[in-house]
Amino acid sequence: MSSDPIVVLVPNEEGQEIVDAVDGLRAVVYDPQAALPDDARTARVLIAPFLSTSDTTKIVDGLPDLELVQLLTAGAEAWIGRLPDGVALSDGRGAHGGATAEWVVSVLLAVYRHLPGFVRSQDEGQWTYHRTEELAGKRILIVGAGDVAENTLARLDGFGVTTTLVGRRARDGVHGWDELPSLLPEHDAVVLIVPLTDETRGMVDAEFLAAMPDGALLVNGARGPVADTDALVAELTSGRLRAAVDVTDPEPLPEGHPLWSAPNLLLTPHVGGSVPLAMDRAYTVAAEQLAYLVRGEEPPNVVHGAY
C-alpha cells in the first residue's frame, strides 16, 4: 500500500477537519457546482454532497483514480447503477437514525394528540377543547429493520405501545415483507423507513392501503416514491386513513399539488434528519468508513447487490 495519503474530495469545509483527522487521508474541498480543483484527479474517494441528485453523479466523470463514493445520507438511490465498474458506494447509515426516529415519534404524538388542529384553532383564535387520542396502547408496524428502525424502537420504549418489525427477510424478531398482508389489518399505524429501491418503489399501493384498518395512520419517513401518491390522496380524501409524511413524490411539491390540500395529512418538508449536528454526525460516519479503506479493508457501509 502506498504511503501517500488517500485524497478525499469533500463538498464543503465543514467536513475537512474531520476527514483530515484520520491518518492516511487528505481532504480536498470542492464545490459541487463548479469545476473540480486541480488536485482532484488523484482523488480515490469522493464524499458526495448531502442531498445528491442524478445530476450530481456526473462529478465522477473527471476522477480517473476514483475507488469509492462515500455518502452523507443513508439513502443511496441517486447513485445506485450510475457508477463506473470498480467504484464502490458506501452510504451514511448510522448518521441520521436518531434524528429521523425522533421525527417519527413526534408526528405520531402530534397526530394522536390532535396538535395540527389545535395550532389551526390558535391561528383562528378559537378555543376548541375536546378529548384527543393517545399514543399509549397503539399497535405500531415498522416497515424497515435497519438503523432508523432500531432508533425508533428505542424512542418508542416507554410510551406503552406494541411494536412489530418488518424487513425484507424474516429473522429473529423481524417479520418478512411477505407477511405484510396479514400484519397490516392488525396495526393502528404503519411507519415506513425503507430505502428506495426497485423493490420498494410503489410498494404502498392501493392494495397495501386498503389492508390498513379504518382510521389507521401511515407515517412515511422513507422516500416519497415508496408510496403511490394518487392512492394515498384517495384514501386521505375519503377520510378512511390518516398520514404523516416527511417525503413526497414529486419532491418538493409543486404549487397546487393535491397533497397540499389533502385532509387528514400532516406534511413536513423532508426535515427528518435536518438537525444542528446532522453534518457533524454524517462526516464522523464517513471518516469511520474511510478508516477501513486506509487499512485496505472494505468499509462496513458498502452497498451491495440490490441495496
Catalytic residue ranges: 223, 251, 270
Question: 8: buried, middle or exposed (CB in 10 Å: 19+, 13-18, 0-12)?
Answer: buried
Contact 100, 275 (CB under 8 A): no
- The Cα 110–Cα 90 span in angstroms is 34
CA distances from 102 to 98, 107, 160, 184 (A): 6, 9, 17, 23
Backbone angles phi, psi at 127, to 5 degrees: -95, 90
Residue linked to cell 394515498:
232
DSSP assignment letter at 192: E
Contact 79, 90 (CB under 8 A): no
- The Cα 144–Cα 93 span in angstroms is 13
Q: Which amino acid is at 299?
A: P
In DSSP terms, 29 is beta-bridged to 10
Count CB-CB contacts under 10 A for residue 136. 10
Question: 22: buried, middle or exposed (CB in 10 Å: 19+, 13-18, 0-12)?
Answer: buried
Q: How many residues does the chain have?
A: 307
Report CA 148 to chain centroid distance, whole Å: 8
- The Cα 185–Cα 188 span in angstroms is 8
Contact 192, 219 (CB under 8 A): yes
Contact 91, 81 (CB under 8 A): no
